[in-house]
Amino acid sequence: MIAFTHKPVMPEECMQGLAPEESGVYFDGTVGGGGHSYEILRRSSPGGRLIATDLDENAIAAARQRLQEFAGRFRIYKSNFKRYAEVLADAGVGGLDGVMLDLGVSSFQLDEASRGFSYLKDAPLDMRMDPSGGLSAADVVNGYSEERLAKLLWEYGEERFAKRIAAAIAKRRTSRRIESTAELAAIIEASIPAKFRQNGPCARKSFQAIRIEVNGELDGLAEAVKGLTLRLNKGGRICVLTFHSLEDRIVKNVFRELAEGCICDKSLPVCVCGRKQEIKILTKKPVTASEREREENPRSKSAKLRIAERIREYS
């Protein structure tokens, strides 16, 4: 097994937001190397419990080793956090006292060239968080139509030159299949006008878009965040770390929806919509990493943390 190293983003800010308690039951949907999970278990000692999920077997193995001092107080499932309902049912857990979601790619996955996440290192086009199966980046790059690729790069990467890049990819693959990250990065770079190449590598947005597609990162995200928030007991909190604007917008909108109560016309004598406020938002603006952390942990530069607290009983 390859050694898994991952430095959690804003651990202190996350724990202050989550406020773990001794008897609480917590859910960490993206366990990574166990950094946030460790703090949850440490701060909820001796009786707090943790249920965690991840798709990366290396991450799970590393987390189990890191959390071994809390044996008997945690369970880790190889699963997507979006399948929280079946995971919690298997664990025999109903309401939760806290939820931690650290979305996006871990520093280990980016640093391990063979996974194909990075445009800075040559590797096979893969990008799967669960490398055991499913759609790969090569499947997307070589199999999607030019129009579908352009739409993907624009919507998930917010890439202004999406059409030019998609056209260049389509042209290249007529002669041979695109198999490596270096080749794809070179195609993207050559597709962007020279005057827009002055701020470093130009492949970041396109690689992000393809990675999101491969792993279905946005599919069902709103439903999962909403469902997990509604699994909180009264006073329980959810902390969500996002790393690009698309994720952050989804989380913000879910929180806003759950924080809104009755939407009936004020002229009506009684409420007919039946909506009740479920949470209060504790972060009017998302929390960002300190300057020192941004220098020490580059992954934290784009991170945004949103926190909400449940104000109704879970039922």
Given a cut of 60, whether residue 90 has pLDDT beyond it is yes
Q: What is the pLDDT of residues 110-132, one digit of tens each?
A: 667 677 788 888 899 999 988 88
CA dihedral 46, 51, 55, 56 (to 10 degrees): 10
Half-sphere exposure at residue 173, Cβ-oriented, CA atoms within 13 angstroms: 21
Residue 231: pLDDT band (50, 70, 90) is: very high
What is the value of pTM for the model shown? 0.90
Instruction: Name residues whose C-beta falls within 8 Å of residue 287's C-beta, 6 or more positions apart in sequence.
Output: 10, 13, 17, 304, 305, 306, 307
Domain spanning 11-104+218-310: CATH 3.40.50.300: no
Given a cut of 80, whether residue 109 has pLDDT beyond it is no
Give the pLDDT confidence score for residue 3 in this predicted structure: 52
Residue 298: pLDDT band (50, 70, 90) is: confident
Beta strands in 3-156 (DSSP E): 25-28, 49-54, 74-78, 96-102
Q: Could you tell me where in the chain the CATH 1.10.150.170 domains are found? A: 118-215
Give the pLDDT confidence score for residue 99 in this predicted structure: 98
**75-89, 97-111, 157-171, 229-243: which has the minimum mean pLDDT?**
97-111
Give the pLDDT confidence score for residue 132 in this predicted structure: 80
**123-132, 165-174, 184-193, 259-268: which has the minimum mean pLDDT?**
259-268
**Ramachandran assignment for 244, one of left (phi > 0), alpha (psi -120 to 50 degrees), beta (any other):** beta
Alpha helices in 44-176 (DSSP H): 57-66, 84-91, 107-111, 137-143, 146-157, 162-172
Give the pLDDT confidence score for residue 79 in this predicted structure: 95
Give the pLDDT confidence score for residue 271 in this predicted structure: 82
Given a cut of 70, whether residue 69 has pLDDT beyond it is yes
User: 244: which DSSP letter?
Assistant: S
Q: Could you tell me where in the chain the CATH 3.40.50.150 domains are found? A: 11-104+218-310
Residue 106: pLDDT band (50, 70, 90) is: low
Give the pLDDT confidence score for residue 198 in this predicted structure: 66
Cβ neighbours, 10 Å, residue 190: 14
Given a cut of 90, whether residue 269 has pLDDT beyond it is no
Give the pLDDT confidence score for residue 119 in this predicted structure: 84
Cβ neighbours, 10 Å, residue 57: 14
Residue 16: pLDDT band (50, 70, 90) is: very high
User: 313: which DSSP letter?
Assistant: -
| Residue 201, preceding peptide bond in cis (omega within 30° of 0) | no
In this structure, which topology does domain 118-215 adopt according to CATH?
DNA polymerase; domain 1 (1.10.150)
One-letter amino acid for residue 270 of the chain: V
